[in-house]
Structure 1
């Protein structure tokens, strides 16, 4: 599992992705839908963990075993797909899309850990490193994805293409 700080940092990247997608495909331009998707992505990025807590009890212990139902990939991806298809036609689509973006980003950050994530039926792990290690790599990768996606949607990929051109010529 990535650290709490890593989930928060990747959540900001997921929020940028959500806002960019909603602005492009959810009715056009920056408006309330993009802002709602942004905020909900921040909440969604930590949701798989806080949904496990029994908030109604004083002990705040887990009421669901860690990394089971709240980390189930099919549910998060299903919500993401439904919300994307409903963008611009349903009022709750933009916040749901943002929430799902954050949730999927959370799962991607947890996936390299040996404990893994239940994507379909059982847990699957990339088994790359132990909890809390390589958080900087996860955060950097999430922000790289956010920059590429937002550049593509807002600026038609112009900045990404220029960077690739400079890297190939060795002029950076």
Structure 2
């Protein structure tokens, strides 16, 4: 398991990825509001598999389900990502769901190298590279390298060229 700080940092990278994909798909909405919402949802989704386990409705705030079970199930996060991507441009809330799913998948990827593993399909699978809290800098660097790759590839032909600023009369 990556540390809470690492999940927050990788969530920001997931938000950048989600925002770039939403922008590239043309589902940014008026004033690019859905791009910003996808970014925020990606940041939030980066920690979601852990806080979804907490019984927020109880005084003790204990876990209501076992850690790394249903909220860490890879199939559900991938299905949410695919469905939200399919709905981009058709339903405004799809951008938020897409960003949230990007963050959730980034969380699972950060937890995967730990010996406890992640239940991708049925049983847990682990890369078994290091113990919890170790190599957080490597996990964060890999997440941001992935974000850089996605953002630069998708933005090279769209909003990175500042056409949207020129259209507003400021560029």
| Normalised TM-score (structure 2) | 0.89
In the TM superposition, what is the alpha-carbon distance from 1:85 to its structure 2 partner?
Answer: 1.0
In 2, Cα distance between the equivalents of 1:27 and 1:21? 9
Q: Is the Cα contact below 8 Å between 1:38 and 1:98 reproduced in 2?
A: yes
| 1:34 alignment counterpart | 35
2:58 paired with 1:57: yes
3-state SS of paired residue (1:150): helix
| 1:95 alignment counterpart | 96
| 2:129 alignment counterpart | 128
In 1, Cα distance between the equivalents of 2:108 and 2:42? 13
| 2:166 alignment counterpart | none
Compute the RMSD of aligned alpha carbons.
1.1
3-state SS of paired residue (1:31): helix
In 2, Cα distance between the equivalents of 1:146 and 1:42? 13
| 2:79 alignment counterpart | 78
Q: Is the Cα contact below 8 Å between 2:19 and 2:35 reproduced in 1?
A: yes
| Normalised TM-score (structure 1) | 0.88
In the TM superposition, what is the alpha-carbon distance from 1:90 to its structure 2 partner?
Answer: 1.1
* Alignment map for 1:83-162 (pairs within 5 Å): 83-156=84-157
Q: Is the Cα contact below 8 Å between 1:26 and 1:94 reproduced in 2?
A: no
Q: Is the Cα contact below 8 Å between 2:15 and 2:38 reproduced in 1?
A: yes
Runs of 4+ in 1 over 2 A off after TM superposition: 26-30
In 1, Cα distance between the equivalents of 2:156 and 2:91? 26
Q: Is the Cα contact below 8 Å between 2:28 and 2:34 reproduced in 1?
A: no
Q: Please list the CA deviations of residues 57-105 of structure 1 after superposition, one character each: whole Å capped at 9, or x if unmatched.
A: 1110000000000000000000000011111011211000000000000
Q: Identify unmatched segments of 5+ residues in structure 1.
A: 157-172
| 2:9 alignment counterpart | 9
In the TM superposition, what is the alpha-carbon distance from 1:28 to its structure 2 partner?
Answer: 5.1
| 2:163 alignment counterpart | none
